[in-house]
């Protein structure tokens, strides 16, 4: 039996920022008919496409950010988005995923009622299964893509800085950042703001920076199997 939490407690959200021909320009299925679902974008055509859906479209323009950093800011700091501030929890997911909304609602309900966790994320589908999971494994995977390879020196320097600060370049887990349930509380707000500061240091490779953020906030993060309440969708 699914335990339905009240409407004002949880909001779903996703985003797309960029040009029409961007390969992440998807509008995924709405994950819930009972809880509000927000879609953030700076793309006018995407906004038009949202009109006849059950998504709540939100135009977001920040002149001081490019489109890729827009998306990372929305992902990392939902408490900074006026539409999401009233909710007790949010569920972020990449636009290339499709969620089972009922499973997410159950997860959120159990997290609030029966645990002391503040965040729920999925283990990375393959890096978490290598031993030990490492920042270098994430970086090697990312460098296969030209948009990351051009900043290889920045990422290597970033890892060195974090290790020198006392954090580890290996851990017992590595998270995928495309699905995040968060409570709207001081711990999650602090996590988001620290993560955003690291993203500003490294750029768009946010899973690399989260490898170090997770070490600061690990007691608060509940991990689930990748794909246990979502699947890759990508417009299909």
Neighbours of 59 (CB within 10 A): 11
For residue 2, pLDDT over 70 is answered with no
What pLDDT score does 131 carry?
81
What's the rounded mean pLDDT across residues 151-171? Answer: 96
- The overall pTM is greater than 0.85: yes
pLDDT tens digits, residue range 131-154? 899 999 999 999 999 989 999 999
What's the rounded mean pLDDT across residues 46-52? Answer: 95
For residue 164, pLDDT over 80 is answered with yes
What pLDDT score does 235 carry?
56
For residue 24, pLDDT over 70 is answered with yes
What's the rounded mean pLDDT across residues 43-57? Answer: 96
What pLDDT score does 234 carry?
63
Mean pLDDT of the chain: 91
CB burial class (10 A; 0-12, 13-18, 19+) of residue 167? Answer: middle
What pLDDT score does 30 carry?
97
Q: Which domains does the chain have, with CATH numbers?
A: 10-232 (3.90.550)
What pLDDT score does 185 carry?
95
For residue 236, pLDDT over 60 is answered with no
Quick one: tokens of 73?
A: 């800011």
Across 42-171, where does the E strand assignment appear? 56-59, 89-93, 97-99, 119-123
CB burial class (10 A; 0-12, 13-18, 19+) of residue 68? Answer: middle
What's the rounded mean pLDDT across residues 201-229? Answer: 95
What pLDDT score does 129 carry?
73
pLDDT tens digits, residue range 73-96? 999 999 999 999 999 999 999 999
In degrees rounded to 5, what are phi and psi of residue 151?
-115, 25
What pLDDT score does 190 carry?
98
Q: Are 84 and 78 spatial neighbours (Cβ–Cβ below 8 Å)?
A: yes
């Amino acid at each position: 039996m699914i335990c339905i939490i009240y409407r004002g407690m949880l909001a779903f959200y996703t985003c797309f920022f960029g040009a029409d021909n961007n390969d992440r320009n998807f509008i995924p299925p709405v994950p819930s008919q009972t809880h509000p679902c927000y879609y953030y974008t700076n793309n006018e055509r995407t906004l038009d496409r949202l009109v006849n859906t059950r998504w709540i479209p939100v135009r977001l323009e920040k002149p001081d950010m490019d489109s890729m950093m827009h998306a990372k800011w929305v992902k990392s700091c939902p408490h900074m988005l006026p539409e999401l501030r009233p909710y007790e929890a949010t569920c972020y997911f990449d636009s290339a995923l499709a969620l089972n909304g009922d499973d997410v609602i159950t997860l959120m309900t159990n997290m609030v009622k029966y645990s002391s966790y503040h965040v729920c994320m999925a283990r990375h589908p393959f890096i978490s299964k290598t031993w030990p999971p490492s920042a270098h494994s994430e970086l090697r995977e990312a460098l296969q893509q030209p948009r990351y390879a051009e900043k290889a020196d920045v990422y290597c320097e970033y890892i060195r800085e974090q290790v020198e600060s006392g954090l580890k370049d290996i851990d017992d887990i590595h998270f995928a950042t495309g699905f995040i349930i968060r409570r709207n509380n001081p711990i999650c707000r602090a996590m988001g703001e620290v993560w955003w500061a690291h993203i500003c240091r490294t750029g768009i490779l946010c899973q690399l920076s989260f490898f170090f953020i997770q070490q600061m906030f690990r007691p608060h993060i509940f991990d689930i199997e990748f794909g246990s309440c979502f699947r890759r969708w990508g417009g299909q």
